[in-house]
Amino acid sequence: MKRLRGRGLLAALITVVTATGAAVIPAASASAAAPADHTVYWNQVLLRTYRTVGGAPGPLARAGAMMHAAMWDAANSASCRVGAFAVPVLDTCLGKKYLVNVTTVKYAGANTPIVGTAIDYAAVTVLRNLYPALNFDADLATAQQGVGTTNNQKEAVYIGQQAAAAMKTARTGDGSTDTTPYVEGTVPGAWRNTGSGAAATPNWGGVTPFGMTSGTQFRPQLPLGYSTYPSLLASSGYAAQVNEVKSLGSATSTTRTADQTQLAWFWANDLDGTYKPPGQLFAHTAILAQARGLSTTQNVRLFALVAIAMADASITAWDAKYRTAIDLWRPESAVRLADTDGNAATVADPTWKPLSANTAGVNFSPPFPAYISGHATFAGAWAGVVKAFLGTDAVTWTATTEDPHAVGVSRTFTSISAAATENALSRIYLGVHYRFDADFGLASGGGVAAYVFGHELTQWYDYGVYSDVAACHNAGAALVAGGSYEEYKCVEFTNETALLSVR
């Protein structure tokens, strides 16, 4: 059967009007102007919340995924609702639902729900559920500046609330509340408390993923391929890793350059009161979105994909940290206790401290095992999604930070990958990670990104027009069976030709 080349046909039949602009929104007040972009606005509210609640990155990333994925379902549902009343033969949905497509019309005559309002109520409902002690009323009031009380508006509110309710139900019992205590290791090489606190979120690797099939899907190999502490610690590769961070990551290093010191602090954001590692990457997403002039509907998908990937990155990293044969000690322990590792190529320094420090200048290592780096895994997941979404890695842009040791510092990159790589390597210069923590964190995060982008929130691609609907179905079925796409649909036109779309 003949396939007619008509990828522009659907575009000619539909005119899509979207709001433009992705300005970064400051902290809200009841008198502030309505946001230009509701997705970026609520992300800023989320980052403010991160600064308020603090804590380990896993729960923060989970909150981000819950909020942004619910916002996607709300915006998508509102867009589908418009299509249901406007041109029924055409699909006006933004893409594949994450959890739910709210289709019930609750308010009579509500044929054009307001997408921004649907986003607002999905976001605020999720945040209120997650953080009941915090008040988001002023944020909602700002978001809703100038919005009336029509049935269209009420339908949008209902859609947002239902999307949030579906998310709350889906994440109930996901393992995120597991507080089973962690038993520290005692043998050389095993992680132990370095004075910065007990093991943080040791069960996070068992949390139900948002997109992955399991928390072990992108588990990296064990450090250098060794499955026991004695074999790892006795290796020349381990000695090289320890000696590198001992030199470059020391608080008093004479080999670390000024630029390496700056980037170490720039990417840290470990301290409560900052937007933490997931928040920094969300902030960078907003910078890139604004630079590219992305629309509201583009941003709601981009931020949701980034959020889902980072939530799964946290599960992947914490699975590797706590749920494998080696829960590797931090460089601080490795250097101070090198006389116990059985390796002649390492020399103990009981006074060694990492560059990493709190605002009082007290040096510390984050309270969880080293392998793999959470920063690096987040960075790999973030970069993979953003590159895929934008369709390029070659973007020149300037990034920012909130770490108190890098106030006012910005760094400019010529690619997304360069920023992610620098993020990963910064942990060596900060003295809290080995090089293989960074390398394998980036790789695992990249795997998460590719999987999430290929399976979540996918959009229809107009594959081609066929001479009849049977030929369209045959071609679509073959593409799905071959693994190229997850699903297909055929839309038959009055001239009996059929448009094949795949995703």
pLDDT tens-digit profile of 453-467? 999 999 888 899 999
- State whether 130 and 247 are in the same domain: no
pLDDT of residue 469: 93
- State whether 377 and 470 are in the same domain: no
Residue with structure tokens 């990293």? 317
- State whether 465 and 450 are in the same domain: no
pLDDT of residue 151: 86
Start-to-end CA distance of the chain, whole Å, equals: 22
Indicate whether 151 belongs to any domain. yes
What's the CA gap between 328 and 322, in Å, rounded?
9
Give the angle 192-276-319 at the CA atoms, nearest 5°: 45
Indicate whether 333 belongs to any domain. yes
- State whether 450 and 464 are in the same domain: no
Q: Can you give the residue range of the structural domain that contains 6?
A: 1-22+460-503
Q: What are the residues facing 499 on neighbouring strands?
A: 465, 491
Burial (CB count within 10 angstroms: exposed 0-12, middle 13-18, buried 19+), residue 117: buried
- State whether 70 and 8 are in the same domain: no
Instruction: Pick the closest to residue 487 from 451, 464, 455 (CA basis).
Output: 455
Indicate whether 182 belongs to any domain. no
- State whether 253 and 297 are in the same domain: yes
What's the CA gap between 412 and 305, in Å, rounded?
24
pLDDT of residue 83: 61
E strand intervals along 125-260: none
pLDDT of residue 126: 98
- State whether 128 and 83 are in the same domain: yes
Indicate whether 80 belongs to any domain. yes
Q: Which two three-digit tokens encode residue 336?
A: 């101070």
- State whether 10 and 110 are in the same domain: no
Number of domains within the chain = 3
- State whether 300 and 390 are in the same domain: yes
SS3 134: coil
Q: Which two three-digit tokens encode residue 329?
A: 């000690």
pLDDT of residue 31: 52
271: which residues sit within 8 A by CB, 6+ positions away? 358, 359, 403, 404
- State whether 273 and 140 are in the same domain: no
pLDDT of residue 106: 80
pLDDT of residue 22: 31
CB 76 within 8 A of CB 68: no
* CATH at residue 41: 1.20.144
* CATH at residue 445: 1.10.606.20
pLDDT tens-digit profile of 99-124? 999 987 787 666 667 999 999 999 99
Question: Within 10 Å of residue 16's Cβ, how many Cβ atoms?
Answer: 10
pLDDT of residue 92: 79
Indicate whether 186 belongs to any domain. no
Indicate whether 183 belongs to any domain. no
- State whether 331 and 469 are in the same domain: no
- State whether 262 and 374 are in the same domain: yes
21: which residues sit within 8 A by CB, 6+ positions away? 36, 37, 290, 293
SS3 3: strand
Indicate whether 81 belongs to any domain. yes
Residues in the chain predicted with pLDDT less than 50, given as ranges, are 1-30, 86-89
Instruction: Pick the closest to residue 178 from 327, 316, 59, 308 (CA basis).
Output: 59
pLDDT of residue 42: 98
pLDDT of residue 85: 55
